[in-house]
Structure 1
Amino acid sequence: MMRKTIFALIPLTLGYYFLAGAAAQASPSDDAEHNRRLVVDFYNAFFNKHQVAEASKVVDSSYKQHNPQVPDGKAPFVSFFTDYFKKNPDATSQILRSAVDGDLVWLHNHSKSGPDDRGRAIVNIFRVKDGKIVEHWDVIQAVPEQAANGNSMF
């Protein structure tokens, strides 16, 4: 009787471990995709729709900024771009591609202060922790009139 009970429990136990393992394996990529979506949604609302107050709800108060022109902290970040958007109401920053690696999200953007601006090619890197944007780096390059090659920056 004991032997039948043990053999009956083996499929249940294996099933449990299989499902638990599959859930554990799916979780990191689900978290990464959630982070990517959070940053993309934030970026579009903040930099394209200029919904600064609403979009910045996902920015942590201890936000760490690596762009030397923008101060650390959520409030200074919001203030900096509120002023920028007042001076540049037609500013946009189109996301051309995005990538994610765990808590880091990369965006490749074409940022313009208005329709007549050639713009800048920007790679933004955001770090996400507990559903909040906590850190940011960027690399910015002006779009030239002419390139030494036939390749687009985008």
Structure 2
Amino acid sequence: MKKVLLATALVLSIPTLSSVQAADPQSTVRVKSQAEQNKNIVVDFYEGVFQKHEVKAYSDRYIGNQYIQHNPHVPDGKAPFVNYFTQYFKENPDAKSTIKRVVADGDLVWLHVHSTQNSKDLGTAVVDIFRVENGKIVEHWDVQQQVPKPSANKNTMF
């Protein structure tokens, strides 16, 4: 019985997120504010690069000095990113990527994107994940899946 009471007392003494928020209501605002800031950074960067094709300007503004790339087709670093996508958009001037959903949690921002090379392309469903540090994008992952012509269901990928 003593062990149960001791365990209960320990559990009850651990502050929960809501009790921390009640003690410091500004802590929640700061967390949300940072996630919102990170979302804004990533969305502005993404639209600048993948809609406007202004690769260098938006990369200079938003990519950190140390940029880790997990896409196996693009080398690490800001300059390789700029070179790769500048060439890509020269070869695919009608390419665009439309953001369908954005989620942020702390330093991570996820984008659900429909990417096409031209108006005839069904495109690719992409989930891009960015890590933001001190207002700069410092790391990127992505997962891609081609949009099929026939689908086994009536749902879209977006």
TM-score (norm 2): 0.83
Q: Letter of the aligned partner of 1:47 in structure 2?
A: F
What is the distance in 2 between the residues matched to 1:95 and 1:147?
A: 22
What is the distance in 2 between the residues matched to 1:151 and 1:131?
A: 36
Q: Considering only aligned residues, what root-mean-square deviation do their CA atoms show, in Å?
A: 1.5
Secondary structure of 1:137's counterpart equals: strand
What is the distance in 2 between the residues matched to 1:61 and 1:78?
A: 13
What is the identity percentage for the equivalent residue pairs of Structure 1 and Structure 2? 55
Secondary structure of 2:90's counterpart equals: helix
What is the distance in 2 between the residues matched to 1:90 and 1:40?
A: 20
In the alignment, is residue 90 of structure 1 matched against residue 89 of structure 2? no
After the TM superposition, which residues 98-117 of structure 1 pair with which residues of structure 2 at under 5 Å, given as runs?
98-117=102-121
Q: Letter of the aligned partner of 2:77 in structure 1?
A: G
What is the distance in 2 between the residues matched to 1:153 and 1:99?
A: 17
How far has the Cα of 1:22 moved from its partner?
2.5
Where does residue 150 of structure 2 map in the other structure?
A: 146
User: In the TM superposition, what whole-angstrom CA distance separates every residue of 1:15-37 from its partner, at most 9, and x where no partner exists?
Assistant: xxx9x922233111100000001
Q: Letter of the aligned partner of 1:150 in structure 2?
A: K
Where does residue 124 of structure 2 map in the other structure?
A: 120
In the alignment, is residue 55 of structure 1 matched against residue 38 of structure 2? no
Where does residue 30 of structure 1 map in the other structure?
A: 33
Corresponding residue pairs, total: 137
Q: Please, which runs of 5 or more residues in structure 2 have no aligned partner?
A: 1-20
Larger Rg: 1
Q: Letter of the aligned partner of 2:86 in structure 1?
A: T
How far has the Cα of 1:54 moved from its partner?
1.4
What is the distance in 1 between the residues matched to 2:28 and 2:125?
A: 35
How far has the Cα of 1:120 moved from its partner?
0.2
Deviates more, 1:47-56 or 1:119-128: 47-56
Task: Confirm or deny: 8 A CA contact 1:61 1:75 kept in the other structure.
Answer: no
What is the distance in 1 between the residues matched to 2:29 and 2:66?
A: 30
